[in-house]
Structure 1
Amino acid sequence: MFAVPPNTLPNASESGLAHPVRVAREVAEDRRRWAHRVRYDRDTRWSLLLYSTDEYEVWVLSWLPGQRTELHDHGGSDGAFTVVSGVLTERAVRSDSGRHNAEALHVLVPGQSRVFGPHYAHQVHNEGPDPAISVHVYRPGRAVTPTT
């Protein structure tokens, strides 16, 4: 299951590309390609760029209990993330003209995904007792370490 926030619209010029949530889910399901590379850092969330194409970047992140992001957006990037293991909570906020409004909480379990786009800010948190892993896709690529 994945959810498309109402303020996230696909870019018409990219209609032929695979949707970021499809890419995230396919990578998440193929754990043998990347699971051996996952690490955990008790001081900060760990992340690794798995690969990059002309259309998108794919990252894997690990989250120990209590680790979180700050409230942030992804600039001009569209994207999605899929929870592979553990439980993550997303606080999603629609951002219009620099104001934050329309806040919602989403508890995500393995196999669930969220998408994001313009005017979408969120905070992701591992509130559970167990570590979590997630796969993130950014389109176009970020060229910097992701916040989520």
Structure 2
Amino acid sequence: MTVVDTRLDHLAIATRFAAAPEQWPVAPRFNPVDRWYHRLNVTGDYEVWLLTWLPGQGTDLHDHGGSAGAFHVFGGTLTEETVSVASGRAPRITSRELGEGAGRRFGTHHIHRMTNRSSRPAISVHVYGPALTTMTRYRVGAEALEVLSVERAGVEW
């Protein structure tokens, strides 16, 4: 049997937390105005967040300030749009739908947005390592990504 070292496998950590909702310190809540989130755990290597999404709720394009990570869809369906930028070319957006039980790892330079485009609420578990300190928000310009803002943990969220 192969043993997975979950200390650095962010998707394995997210999946492990998603498999034990009875151990979450709070029950998921839904906010009709904006997505709801709560930090479930933090260690020296990573942090774990629980997020809820009503239909139509989502994020702006953003990165994770140099942190790598993963997310696991606990319930419902989420759409992730990722941005790739090649030198001298316009940014390209790729979309993928992830249903209940699906998950995805991402690296330190990942730029994406997530949206609940379904008609049902969604719940997801996200892991970031190291813990988030900043997030940069972007918009897609005609020829390049444009920075809208840089938010700092503990100040803007």
- TM score, norm. by length of structure 1: 0.80
Q: In the alignment, what sits opposite 2:19?
A: 29
**Cα distance change of structure 1 residues 142 and 96 upon mapping to structure 2, 3 Å threshold:** farther
**In the TM superposition, what whole-angstrom CA distance separates every residue of 1:51-107 from its partner, at most 9, and x where no partner exists?**
10000000000000000100111111000000000000000112457x763421110
Could you list the runs of 5+ residues in structure 2 that have no partner in the other structure?
A: 134-152
1:44 partner letter = D
Match 2:80 to one of 78, 87, 90: 90
By percentage of residues, which structure has more helix?
Answer: 1
Aligned partners of 2:90, 2:48: CA distance in 1, in Å? 28
The one of 65, 81, 93 equivalent to 2:55 is 65
Percent identical pairs in the alignment equals: 42
Label 1:16 to 1:61 Cα distance change in 2 as closer, same or farther (>3 A).
Answer: closer
1:35 to partner: Cα distance: 8.0
Compute the TM-score of the two structures, normalised by the length of structure 2.
0.75
Which stretches in structure 1 are left out of the alignment for 5+ residues?
A: 1-14
Q: How many residues align?
A: 131
Q: Which structure has greater strand proportion?
A: 2
2:36 to 36, 46, 53: 46
**How far off is 1:34 after superposition?**
1.9
Q: Over aligned residues, Cα RMSD in angstroms?
A: 2.3
Q: Which amino acid aligns with 1:108?
A: L
8 Å Cα contact 1:93/1:100 also seen in 2: no
Q: Is the 8 A contact 1:96 1:119 kept in 2?
A: no
- Tell me the residue number matched to 1:123: 113
